[in-house]
Structures are given as C-alpha cells and as structure tokens.
Amino acid sequence: MEKLIITVAPTGSKPRKENTPHVPVTTEEIVADALRCERAGAAVLHIHVRDEAQRPSDDPRRFREVVEALCGRTQLILQVSTGGRAGADLESRRRRLATDVEMASLTTGSVNFPNSAYINPPDLIAGLAEEMKRRAIKPEIEVFDLAMLHNAIDLMNAGLVDAPLHFNFVMGLKGAMPARVEHLAHLRLFLPPDATWSVSAVGAAQLPMAVHAILMGGHVRVGLEDNIYYRKGELATNVMLVERIVEISRMLGRAVASPDEARQILRLKHLKTKCG
C-alpha cells in the first residue's frame, strides 16, 4: 500500500488557550510546533493564523510570517487554509494565496456548522480555484458532504482544477457528515481513479476514523484544529497526535511518507517548498 501521508492541523479557528494550553497561536508557537510535528512524522502542515486576541485572522501578512519563518527550516508541505471563519469574502480569502505555498484548502460547497453557516457560493469556489491554478497551488478539496465531492469533479471537468484531485473528508462535525466508516466507503466509490484522499474527523472520532483511513489506503489529518484530546479527559499536543498515528500505521504494516514522498504521491508540481 502507498505510504501514509500525515497532515497536521495544529491551530484551526476554534481552540483557544483557555481550552488547551497546547494550541499554538502565535507565529513562534506555530513554527515550533510544526517543526516538532515534522520530526514526529508529519508531511503536510495545514495553516491557520490568529490575531492578538486569538481570533481567527485572514491577514495575509500573518500567513506570510508563518511561511517565511518556516522557509529553509522545513521540508513540510505548507497548506494554507482558505476557510471562511476568518472573513468570508472572496478577496480576503484569495489574498491568503499570495503566500505562494504548495497547497491550499478549497471547500466545494456550503454547510452548516453547529452555530453558523459556512457559505461557499459557486462564484467564490471558482474564484479560489482559478487563483490556485494560476499560482500552481494544489487544492486540497475539503468535503463535508457527498455533493462537495461531485462539485469538485465538475470543477475538474470544467478545467478549473487539475487532476489528480486530492480530497479531505471532514467527518463528525455536527451539521455535516457523521463520522461513519460506511460514509467513507460510500464516498470512496465516487472518487476519480487517480485521486488521493484523507480523513479528518472531529473530536473523539479522530482516532477511529484515522485508523479506518490507514487500513483503506487513505491518508490522515490529525491536530488540535479538529480534536484537543488524546483520550477522554487528557489533553493532547499536536506531536502526541502525530506520533500515535505513526505508531499505529507502522504496527499495521504501512510506512509513513516523508514530505518529499508525499509530494510524489500528491503529484505536486513543485518538488520543494517555495520560499517568499
């Protein structure tokens, strides 16, 4: 089986220091945690940034600061979030792509979160996809339900996204797809044959769904963005979550991909991290 790509999502939009002291929110904290996770076996870093009050930020300077601080110090594939919690309009989300990283997230539809709606209208999705294509940034298609998978295939057929597609199935978030292996098996039926996929499940579902993905030939995303616990009542660090997946995958006989091996699996156009 193909080597396992581990993505770490260390920060996200939600957890704050009062929820867990382990969540990295400043540039220094994010960079230090990213380097530790790389040593532990992560290949991709999914980046969100925060402002001084820990609120999600869409300031491109903050994204650039993280990317530049990592430049030359890491082999990690850097993936910028274009998620909407930190400013919903196309321009504010497109500006984050100016950091010229190798990957960025692209959510191909709208979904309800527990207390809000995450709105991604067709023109915004197309605008982000176009900008990624122009900058040779590979999208990670974030799939919260089945329609988003098919929307991504439509974008590919329309020439807005290049094959092979890479999907991340977000599961277990209230309002979206439940974290069930049956859903995973169903989604997989409709993937283009050359597509790659990973799973990021939320909360207590993170571990079991990651194990299903390892066994099914998918890839795994872990990190405090989606889950702050190691086990019930015990807070995790990002490194602990990465280390556990490395150990389980090796126990199951599946080797873990280095960042450069991940670049080959994902068919990234740029075979090294772009700086600047």
DSSP E strands in 81-202: the ranges are: 103-107, 111-113, 116-118, 138-143, 166-171, 196-201
Cα–Cα distance measured from residue 158 to residue 76, given in angstroms and rounded to the nearest whole number: 31
Closest by CA to 96, choosing from 50, 45, 59, is 59
Nearer to Zn ion, 81 or 206 (CB): 81
Whichever of 81 and 249 has its CB closer to Zn ion, that residue is 81
Binding mask 120-149 for Zn ion (x = CB under 5 A): ------------------------------
Quote the least distance from Cβ 99 to Zn ion, whole Å.
15
188 by DSSP, 3-state: which? Answer: helix
Instruction: Considering the complex, state which of residue 117 and residue 252 has its C-beta at the smaller distance from Zn ion.
Output: 117
Q: Tell the smallest beta-carbon distance from residue 59 to Zn ion (Å).
A: 16
Residue nearest to Zn ion (CB): 81
Q: Which residue, 29 or 260, is less far from Zn ion as judged by CB?
A: 29
Q: How far is the CB of 46 from Zn ion (least distance, A)?
A: 6
Helix (H) or strand (E) holding 8: strand 6-8
Contact flags string 23-62 toward Zn ion, x per CB under 5 A: ----------------------------------------
Distance of closest approach, residue 252 Cβ to Zn ion, in angstroms:
26
What x-and-dash track marks residues 81-100 binding Zn ion by CB under 5 A?
Answer: x-------------------
Minimum CB separation of residue 200 from Zn ion in Å reads 8
169 neighbors 134 (Cβ within 8 angstroms): no
Query: Which residues ranging from 64 to 83 are in contact with Zn ion (CB under 5 A)?
Result: 81
Query: With CB under 5 A, what is the number of residues at the site for Zn ion?
Result: 1
Nearer to Zn ion, 131 or 225 (CB): 225
Q: Report in angstroms how near the CB of residue 191 gets to Zn ion at its nearest.
A: 21
Round to whole Å and give the CA distance between 42 and 256: 9
Shorter beta-carbon distance to Zn ion: residue 95 or 254: 95
> What is the spatial distance between Cα 96 and Cα 251, in angstroms, rounded to a whole number?
38
CA–CA separation, 162 and 88 (whole Å): 25
Report how far apart the first and last C-alpha atoms of the chain are (Å, whole number): 35
13 vs 192, beta carbon nearer Zn ion:
13
d(CA 24, CA 10): 7
Task: With CA atoms as reference, report the closest residue to 75 among 132, 35, 25.
Answer: 35
141 CB-near residues (< 8 Å, 6+ apart): 106, 107, 108, 148, 149, 152, 161, 165, 166, 167, 168
Least distance from Zn ion to the Cβ atom of residue 227, Å: 13
Q: In the complex, which residues of this chain contact Zn ion (CB under 5 A)?
A: 81
